[in-house]
Amino acid sequence: MKVNFKDILWMPVDIPKFDRCQELIDDFNVDFNGSIKNSDYDVRGQLFLKKSENHSIAKPKDGLTSSQLAVMEYCKKHLPFTDLINFKIHHIENRGMKMHYDFSPKNNNFSPPPELWNHVLDHEPMGFRMVVHGAKSGDIGIETSNGEVVIPVMPEDTDWYSISHSGTLHGTPPHVVNLEDRYVLFVNGWVNTEQHKELINRSLDKYSDFIVKK
Ligand SMILES: [Fe+2]
């Protein structure tokens, strides 16, 4: 099946499972709390990288735990990123997250460097996410271009999906209340074009039945 990358809103990604997810949860610490700022957005986050300005490349924090270092190594091995801008775990529960774009001019105070914005547009889908804990399917909804919310199904053999970082409207589906303990690993940065293309094509071949398109 030939799929135009630009039409993909959500797709599973062919990456072997990380086997220390429980340790990541045990080591979880809250670095920021989105639910204080906005009651519609119930998320706590843990940042793995040092603070940097305006979407610049950042280095891992000092003092990361063994499981945190291991998941960074694992991502380096399996994902196409050459440099990291953000690497974090979100803990989402209760009210969930309203529909939103992760990286978009539609968001408030959005002003990435133009080179980064163009890089993201050129490499969608590059919003790589891993379900660390929680329901693999059912707790995320994707809004398609006709306004319908589709609930994607994750295959059993992977915990990874990719969305369009700049163009996929997603959030907790309206019928889901009291979301339970959803932990999602979120990676963003600069990718190697060839490695990205290879990973997306391999995943499209393997999971063509699961893809959500525009
Ligand atoms: Fe998101």
For 81-125, write each residue's pLDDT tens digit: 999 999 999 998 777 888 899 999 988 888 999 999 999 999 999
Q: Which helix (H) or strand (E) holds 58?
A: none
* 25 CA from centroid of ligand 1 (Å): 19
Q: How would you label 121-142 residue by residue, b for 16+ Cβ within 10 Å and e otherwise?
A: eebbbbbbbbbbbbebebbbbb
Neighbours of ion ligand 1 (CB under 5 A): 102
What average pLDDT does range 2-16 have in this prediction? 96
* 91 CA from centroid of ligand 1 (Å): 12
Q: Which domains does the chain have, with CATH numbers?
A: 5-50+57-213 (2.60.120.330)
Cis ω before 125 (30° cut-off from 0): yes
Predicted local confidence at residue 161, as pLDDT = 98
Predicted local confidence at residue 54, as pLDDT = 86
Predicted local confidence at residue 125, as pLDDT = 98
| Residue 122 DSSP symbol | H
Summarize pLDDT for 32-85 with one digit per residue, the tens: 887 555 556 678 899 999 988 889 999 999 999 999 999 999 999 999 999 999
* 101 CA from centroid of ligand 1 (Å): 6
Summarize pLDDT for 186-204 with one digit per residue, the tens: 999 999 999 999 999 999 9
Predicted local confidence at residue 35, as pLDDT = 59
* 205 CA from centroid of ligand 1 (Å): 25
6 SS3 class = helix
- The whole-chain average pLDDT of the chain stands at 93
pLDDT at 9 over 80: yes
* 34 CA from centroid of ligand 1 (Å): 12
* 129 CA from centroid of ligand 1 (Å): 9
171 SS3 class = strand
* 110 CA from centroid of ligand 1 (Å): 15
* 140 CA from centroid of ligand 1 (Å): 9
* 20 CA from centroid of ligand 1 (Å): 23
* 145 CA from centroid of ligand 1 (Å): 17
Strands 141-143 and 179-191: unpaired
